[in-house]
Amino acid sequence: MSVLPEIPHTLADYGWDSAFAEDFSLHHCHRTTDLIPGRIIRVDRGRCDVVISTRRSTSSDTSTAPVTVVPADIAPVHTSDPMEWACTGDWVALDPPSANTLATVRALLPRRTAMVRSTSSKRSEGQVLAANVDHVVVAVCLATQPDLGRLERFLALAWESGAQPLVVLTKADLATDAEYVRADTEAAAPGVQVLVVSSETGEGIDVLSAVLAGSTSVLIGRSGAGKSTLANTLLGQEVQEVNHTRDSDGKGRHTTVARDLLPLPFGGVLIDTPGLRGVGLWDAESGLQQVFSEIEELAQECRFHDCAHNREPGCAVLNAVEDGALTVRRLESYRKLLRENAWIASRTDARLRAERLRHWKMIHKSVRDSGVTRRR
Ligand SMILES: Nc1nc2c(ncn2[C@@H]2O[C@H](COP(=O)(O)OP(=O)(O)OP(=O)(O)O)[C@@H](O)[C@H]2O)c(=O)[nH]1
Ligand SMILES: [Zn+2]
């Protein structure tokens, strides 16, 4: 067993609920040995760290007992497809650790959402950076002129993951015209809540905490947007668990338990993994449709159903630009991101994608056939 101390959180604090419990029971009943549920908080070279309950007896106990962190082997669930690699946020079924064996992950439970980025390999494949995320919080700094095109790209990625995006306008204490920026931001983010916060004064932190409470969240945004500062503000005391502290002589660096997934003091967790913060687009066509939903709606009114909104007669999109209802900036941003996305998608091996789709359909079908109804 791990020598790590018990942490006064429960699996429920980490997002465990009855729908995951049902998915887990499907794996459980196929096995003679006792598998246990857990959530991956970090993956590192063939190993992962998993939070598990300190109590094993019944599932009702599991949700209220304190959790502990154990290292686990992920080799049995390794596949050739990076989209299916175990990642931070995954709920898993695992063999518990024993006196002389490491815990072993036997299955990943079906993901509700997945944050995906393109890898830099020659053959473009997606890689999952975080699983089962409920809120993607996009941080935009109020101290400088916001880059709305960049915001729209982050939002497309957020929508594409299946999570609910949220925009936080940070450093409100440095803002000269917060309301003006908020209005511009809201116009660039239909269907997305926009909150104004300051880690310096604490403005808006209570509202943000209430929105994120009980869910799994990630913070993304450009460098310097104030993500680390905001994460520390939200995590409060909890962050002490992960701080990298220097030796008293100032030479070496000690790491206590390094975690990419941290419990929030008001319930729920925050995922912060390297690579997730400045993530790029990957096959986010439906995400783009959601970011630019008003343009998609206008396009329904164009005279020609294949209208490219260039100079076609009866184009509702161009008419909206003429009326001032739609900005040229936003239409150009929409075109640019669609082109960028099409280019990335075209690099992806079509056969690979078809296989992946078939595989996931099979999983969904087997879940459906077992009579389990899923929440989302
Ligand atoms: N005045 C003020 N400064 C802030 C606030 N939040 C962050 N900052 C400052 O802004 C700078 C960047 O903040 P970070 O939290 O490091 O930004 P980040 O988004 O994590 O940056 P990366 O780690 O590069 O991605 C730091 O100097 C912070 O002290 C705030 O609410 N008010
Ligand atoms: Zn048109």
* Whole-number Å distance between alpha carbons of 316 and 309: 8
Q: What is the pLDDT of residues 31-53, one digit of tens each?
A: 656 899 999 999 988 899 999 99
Query: Closest ligand 1 atom to the C-alpha of 219?
Result: 19
Q: How confident is the model at residue 250 (pLDDT cuts 50, 70, 90)?
A: very low
Q: Is 130 annotated as a binding residue?
A: no
Query: Considering all CA atoms of the chain, what is the largest pairwise distance in Å, rounded to the nearest integer?
Result: 75
> What pLDDT was estimated at residue 134?
97
**Contact between 51 and 11 (Cβ < 8 Å):** yes
Which DSSP state fits 239?
G
Does residue 92 lie within any of the structural domains?
yes
53 lies in the same domain as 146:
no
134 lies in the same domain as 242:
yes
Q: Report the percentage of the chain scoring pLDDT > 70.
A: 75
Q: Is the pLDDT at 58 greater than 70, yes or no?
A: no
Report the number of distinct structural domains present in the chain: 3
> What pLDDT was estimated at residue 355?
60
Q: How confident is the model at residue 125 (pLDDT cuts 50, 70, 90)?
A: low
Q: Is the pLDDT at 150 greater than 70, yes or no?
A: yes
More confident residue, 143 or 119: 143
Q: Is 315 annotated as a binding residue?
A: yes
Interhelix angle 205-212/227-235, rounded to 10 degrees, is 70
Instruction: Kindly state the average pLDDT of the residues 134-141.
Output: 95
Q: Write down the pTM of the prediction.
A: 0.81
Q: How confident is the model at residue 7 (pLDDT cuts 50, 70, 90)?
A: low
Q: Is ligand 1 within 6 A of the CB of residue 25?
A: no
Query: Where among 43, 75, 110 does a domain terminate?
Result: 110
Instruction: Kindly state the average pLDDT of the residues 346-372.
Output: 60
Q: Is the pLDDT at 63 greater than 70, yes or no?
A: no
Q: Is ligand 1 within 6 A of the CB of residue 22?
A: no
Instruction: Kindly state the average pLDDT of the residues 297-316.
Output: 93
> What pLDDT was estimated at residue 3?
43
267 lies in the same domain as 289:
no
Q: Is ligand 1 within 6 A of the CB of residue 227?
A: yes
- Supply the mean pLDDT for the chain: 82
Give the structural domain span for 31: 7-110
92 lies in the same domain as 219:
no
User: Which residue owns the Cα nearest ligand 1 atom 21?
Assistant: 224
Q: Is the pLDDT at 244 greater than 50, yes or no?
A: no
Query: Closest ligand 1 atom to the C-alpha of 225?
Result: 19
For 229, the token pair is: 């500062």
Helix, strand or coil, per DSSP, at residue 53: strand
Q: Is the pLDDT at 225 greater than 60, yes or no?
A: yes
Q: Is the pLDDT at 243 greater than 50, yes or no?
A: no
Does residue 252 lie within any of the structural domains?
yes
Does residue 181 lie within any of the structural domains?
yes
Q: Is 214 annotated as a binding residue?
A: no
> What pLDDT was estimated at residue 110?
95
> What pLDDT was estimated at residue 185?
95
78 lies in the same domain as 39:
yes
**Contact between 199 and 208 (Cβ < 8 Å):** no
> What pLDDT was estimated at residue 192?
96
Does residue 374 lie within any of the structural domains?
no
User: Which residue owns the Cα nearest ligand 1 atom 4?
Assistant: 171
Q: Report the percentage of the chain scoring pLDDT > 90.
A: 53
Helix, strand or coil, per DSSP, at residue 193: strand
Query: Closest ligand 1 atom to the C-alpha of 199?
Result: 31
> What pLDDT was estimated at residue 44?
87
Which DSSP state fits 14?
T
> What pLDDT was estimated at residue 273?
75
Q: ipTM of the predicted structure?
A: 0.96
243 lies in the same domain as 338:
no
Q: Is 48 annotated as a binding residue?
A: no
Q: Is the pLDDT at 280 greater than 70, yes or no?
A: no
Q: What is the pLDDT of residues 168-177, one digit of tens each?
A: 999 999 998 8
